[in-house]
A = this chain, B = another copy of it.
Amino acid sequence: MVNETQHTCSASSSSRSDGGSSSGSESSKDNSRCSTPVLDADRHERLREKMRRRQEAGDKWFSLEFFPPRTANAAVNLISRFDRMGAGGPLFIDVTWHPAGDPGSDKETSSMIIANTAVNYCGLETILHMTCCNQTKDDITGHLQKAKRLGLKNIMALRGDPAGEEWEEEVEGFNYAVDLVKHIRNEFDDYFDICVAGYPKGHPEAESYEADLRHLKEKVFAGADFIITQLFFRPETFLKFMKDCQAIGITCPIIPGIFPIQGYHSLRQLVKLSKLEVPQEIKDVIEPIKDNDAAIRNYGVELAVSMCRELLDSGMVHGLHFYTLNREVATTEVLKRLGIWKEDPRRPLPWAVSAHPKRRVEDVRPIFWASRPKSYIYRTQEWDDFPNGRWGNSSSPAFGELKDYYLFYLKSKSPREELLKMWGEELTGEESVFEVFTCYITGEPNRNGYKVTCMPWNDDPLATETNLLKDQLEKVNRRGILTINSQPNINGKPSTDPIVGWGPSGGYVFQKAYLEFFTSSEIVTALLKVLKKYELRVNYHIVNVKGQNITNAPDLQPNAVTWGIFPGREIIQPTVVDPVSFLSWKDEAFALWIEQWAKLYEEESPSRMIIQYIHDNYYLVNLVDNDFPLENCLWQVVEDTFELLN
């Protein structure tokens, strides 16, 4: 009778599905740590396991290829693209390796740093391409070590194009991709997942299609985990290739490379590089419309969708790899039409989870960096433990310095001229500043007709959740309560709620109301009198740039302000108001006045002096209403403060 049921585990077994099971004294440190309840098995698997699990579950997936940009500004834009396209749920992205562009360097545009940013700051599973031709063993090992240090877990091992026409095999050198695969396995054991390239039409330099298949088999047998193919134009090309691979014993996943045609010139260039021939039926369509970009793109989308459908319907294909050419529209369109672009806005946690293996257990962050997650990741990148260093005792947390506010992935996407239009070419007093904050909240144009779409503390327009508080926020900003972060109270909404939900379904999410703002010392004086009435209900921290710190928190313990209760899980509390890290945040928040705003103006100019005055004299205030089941009292606190002032 018992055996008929689905889930049976023997009494003696204590194995865990995430492979984290451990025993013996060696593991005692691990066991004594507060481990993150596994909300999302994905976060704990390596890429090849994710692939296998998705395939077993019958889930279709996609991945996206990008190349490193040429300029720092283009890099900032590419990273925004990562964030936007990451929302669609790619299984991974990959970043190509351009030997000519110093790909392993620390430049903001290098392949290495772009891949690093994708993993660490955008939370994307990422494959870094790497070529080996004309490189020394030491160079290659150095690149791999650096990749490992940065938290990269996946390498696409390629030969790369030989420099010069007269290429000859080097004895003991890296002549083919298989040499690189072997080297990675020799030097790094099983640390990396390795991907290799497959050529559905055969590599252009191969003796024959069959010879090329044998090379591919060598690469797989040398340790590659899966194959991504060169682009092709007809689904049958890929399906035949796949059958041929299987016939000679290649059993690993083979992922078709999809190239949605996006324009006449990019197609021609790619064809030239890849030495492929465009089939006549495609040429026939394209040639007549070659000057009509929109028409070509529409055709390209159409063609890609129909090819992808055929591949998926064959039952042999579970994932699709897209050559995006760093563009967004065509690929997104194809994915949406295929129905594999993730439309579900639900998040595993209320903030975007970093993909660095070290951070996979991170499950709590201070609320202060809610709008500056990349800054938080940057400043905590040296931490060894997540979330334990944050969860409980946060005494002496060593936040990294953030002196360079123009660190490229923290750089504003808007150029100086645009910022001046939004925040005022000329400020006439503190009220001009109030107005900027108010316009940011309302979304209305400012007096010069420009919308304020970002602020020094927030590079994006108001979050949907914050929109719930829009009316109240507008009112208080007008009067000099300059809000930079807030959340409404939530008393047990379903975890699937489209606005405030997060985590697995079947759970309930909660929040304490939070309000953070800059304000003048006059308002702070009145506020403190008002807060006496709310002593038991509202926790506050009030600090100025010099570090004078006023609080009614009984000690330096964090206050949980966002938490969730899930079936069969421990409680998750991903966001806290942590009094100790507030002092690190305070430095950053005050510095942003100067670095991002004051410096737009000439030294000694009245506008600059106004911002400097605010920086020097205002206070940064945070308020938590602990009575989350009742109506948020923070607006009443502010109302009472204004009343007292009148």
Interface residues of A (CB under 8 A from B): 1-2, 4-12, 14-18, 20-23, 28-38, 384-385, 388-389, 391-393, 395-396, 491-492, 506-508, 510, 521, 524-525, 528, 536-537, 539, 543-544, 546-560, 563, 565-571, 573, 576, 580, 583, 586, 624, 626, 628-629
| Complex contact A536–B392 (CB within 8 A) | no
| Complex contact B629–A17 (CB within 8 A) | no
| Complex contact A35–B392 (CB within 8 A) | yes
- In the assembly, how many copies of this chain are there? 2
A-B residue pairs in contact (CB < 8 Å), sample of 6: A11-B547, A16-B395, A22-B395, A34-B34, A35-B393, A392-B570
| Contact with A567, one of B2, B528, B559 (Cβ below 8 angstroms) | B559
| Complex contact A8–B548 (CB within 8 A) | yes
Residue of B nearest to A573 (CB): B571
| Contact with A571, one of B492, B536, B552, B560 (Cβ below 8 angstroms) | B560
Inter-chain CA distance A629–B391, complex, in Å, is: 26
Given contacts A9-B549, A525-B1, contact A557 B568 (CB under 8 A): yes
| Complex contact A38–B555 (CB within 8 A) | yes
Inter-chain CA distance A628–B528, complex, in Å, is: 38
| Contact with A521, one of B1, B4, B14, B554 (Cβ below 8 angstroms) | B1
Add 11 more A-B contacts to A15-B395, A506-B626, A560-B570 (CB < 8 A): A2-B521, A5-B528, A7-B550, A10-B547, A14-B556, A20-B395, A34-B391, A35-B393, A37-B392, A559-B568, A571-B571
| Complex contact A31–B571 (CB within 8 A) | no
Inter-chain CA distance A539–B35, complex, in Å, is: 21
| Complex contact B388–A21 (CB within 8 A) | no
Contacts of A586 in B (CB 8 A): 11
Most buried by B among A18, A392, A508: A392
Q: How far is the CB of A17 from chain B (nearest CB, A)?
A: 5
| Complex contact A570–B548 (CB within 8 A) | no
Contacts of A8 in B (CB 8 A): 548-550
Inter-chain CA distance A528–B6, complex, in Å, is: 10
Contacts of A563 in B (CB 8 A): 565, 571
Most buried by B among A29, A36, A37, A38: A37
| Complex contact B21–A555 (CB within 8 A) | no
| Contact with A570, one of B2, B37, B557 (Cβ below 8 angstroms) | B557
| Contact with A491, one of B15, B492, B548, B573 (Cβ below 8 angstroms) | B492
Contacts of A528 in B (CB 8 A): 4-5
Inter-chain CA distance A71–B544, complex, in Å, is: 67
Given contacts A16-B395, A22-B396, contact A553 B568 (CB under 8 A): yes
Contacts of A549 in B (CB 8 A): 8-11
Inter-chain CA distance A537–B505, complex, in Å, is: 11
| Complex contact A539–B555 (CB within 8 A) | no
Inter-chain CA distance A580–B560, complex, in Å, is: 28
Most buried by B among A9, A391, A525, A629: A9
